[in-house]
Structure 1
């Protein structure tokens, strides 16, 4: 049970209004409604009576309220105790490909700019990231496909050009072995298919770089990869570069809510922004 669901329940109980509770918690009304619904499913009891012009606690809701208040107060005490130790916490989630292409190489550098920060890092799907950001479950999201939302800010972190590679043994007839298709988003996929129609017949289709590379390690194939990911394999003579697909590229984005009042998130964003400026200035 997420304590934030109980906090949401307390806010609705106090305001007697989903919209006002959502505004006070910096959530959308649908997110508040979803949290209350999950609480009701968890306790197998209706917590509110929803009339046209009023919202009242049920008997079950009245019983839950003091427990929710007690748990919330305990959480605040725990948070205060942690603050006394000068430890700050930040949750960041990434799609698997954004992790491989950016965060894995840069997380240590980012963390090195901030003292006394404990980072919780998770790997999630693109759909999960969008929901978790909007419901304040995570502070920051990294993905290769930006969210379509007016509630978030989007910072472009990196851009990697795509190129065609193949196993060394297939260099003479690579297109006949273009058997791995990676999902880079609809527009990029359509552009690739126009250049290499053979990829439509690929026997392996995946949205994960790691899955594609694992498959490639045991199956000789041609494959389209971001250049920074492919270069170590080229250096080890496991792959050979055949053709650049520039200007086709894959980008990594940092995404966060516009209405964030958390100072540590602002510091983190500033570090990412400065890293982008430093790389652009090289």
Structure 2
């Protein structure tokens, strides 16, 4: 059984409201309802009495609640005990583009600065990222589109200017072949469409930088890329950089809870902060 189902049950029991529980857990109300339904199926018992204006625990729900609390506490104690063994655990999740722009290279630097640290890294979308952070399922999140919450700290790690590039063979007429549209967020997309209305007819639309580059490797096209990514391809003779779109840029953000249960997290934050200072000092 997923421990998060019991955490959801405890939150509903405390708030006596599916909507408030969903808000506190940063889930949709339907997700909370689905978790409770699965628990009820697992225990073959109704856990709540659902009236029009009230929500009450059933006898079965009252019996389950202390066990749920004990189990959640026990798992938290187990996590703390593991961290005392000399090996710390750091869980990082990133959106695909934040991984390609920043973390793919940055993870080696993080590893070199953190001894006796076991890092778990995952890729997920922005919605999953927000949920995982607020559920304490991950310690750090990296994204190009920060989510709003009063419970998190947001640190800007990098900023990459966008530029128009194209396959070498298309350098003379690139805009006629602007066939790849990368999603950089609503505001940036709107500005790009004003500058290059041709991009509205792009045959390939994706939110993944890696997907776009894979497509570009077999299909000659113009494309808008972060300059750091573009320069590496230009140096290999695979692309021509046509013009910078300054001040249009894509940023990578580090996000973490203000009140975390990982006592050693400040050490990890210091590494990312130092990496940022080093980059600015170049």
- Per the shorter chain, which TM-score range? 0.7 to 0.9
User: Per the alignment, do residues 54 and 192 of structure 1 end up closer, same or farther by CA in structure 2, a change over 3 Å counting?
Assistant: closer
Q: Which residues of structure 2 form unaligned runs of 5+?
A: none
Give the structure 2 partner of residue 151 of structure 1.
Answer: 151
Alignment check: 8 A CA contact 2:16 2:56 kept: no
Give the structure 1 partner of residue 61 of structure 2.
Answer: 61
Residue correspondence of structure 1 range 207-218 to structure 2 within 5 A: 207-218=207-218
Give the structure 1 partner of residue 37 of structure 2.
Answer: 41
Aligned equivalents of 1:30 and 1:155: distance in 2?
21
| Partner SS state of residue 90, structure 1 | strand
Residue correspondence of structure 1 range 17-36 to structure 2 within 5 A: 17=15, 28=24
Give the structure 2 partner of residue 279 of structure 1.
Answer: 279
Q: CA deviation at 1:182?
A: 0.5
Give the structure 2 partner of residue 251 of structure 1.
Answer: 251
Task: Report the aligned-residue RMSD.
Answer: 2.9
Alignment check: 8 A CA contact 2:180 2:212 kept: yes
User: Per the alignment, do residues 8 and 222 of structure 1 end up closer, same or farther by CA in structure 2, a change over 3 Å counting?
Assistant: closer
User: Per the alignment, do residues 180 and 90 of structure 1 end up closer, same or farther by CA in structure 2, a change over 3 Å counting?
Assistant: same
Aligned equivalents of 2:84 and 2:265: distance in 1?
19
Q: TM-score, normalised by structure 1?
A: 0.85
Give structure 1 regions of 4+ aligned residues with deviation exceeding 6 angstroms.
32-35, 51-55
Alignment check: 8 A CA contact 2:26 2:134 kept: no
| Larger displacement relative to structure 2 (4-13 or 102-111) | 4-13
Alignment check: 8 A CA contact 1:92 1:141 kept: yes
Alignment check: 8 A CA contact 1:98 1:142 kept: yes
| Larger displacement relative to structure 2 (80-89 or 97-106) | 80-89
Q: Which residues of structure 1 form unaligned runs of 5+?
A: none
Question: How many residues in Structure 1 have an aligned counterpart in Structure 2?
Answer: 275
Aligned equivalents of 1:248 and 1:100: distance in 2?
18
Alignment check: 8 A CA contact 2:174 2:222 kept: yes
Alignment check: 8 A CA contact 1:164 1:245 kept: yes
Give the structure 2 partner of residue 193 of structure 1.
Answer: 193
| Partner SS state of residue 264, structure 2 | helix
Aligned equivalents of 2:253 and 2:228: distance in 1?
16
Residue correspondence of structure 1 range 89-108 to structure 2 within 5 A: 89-108=89-108
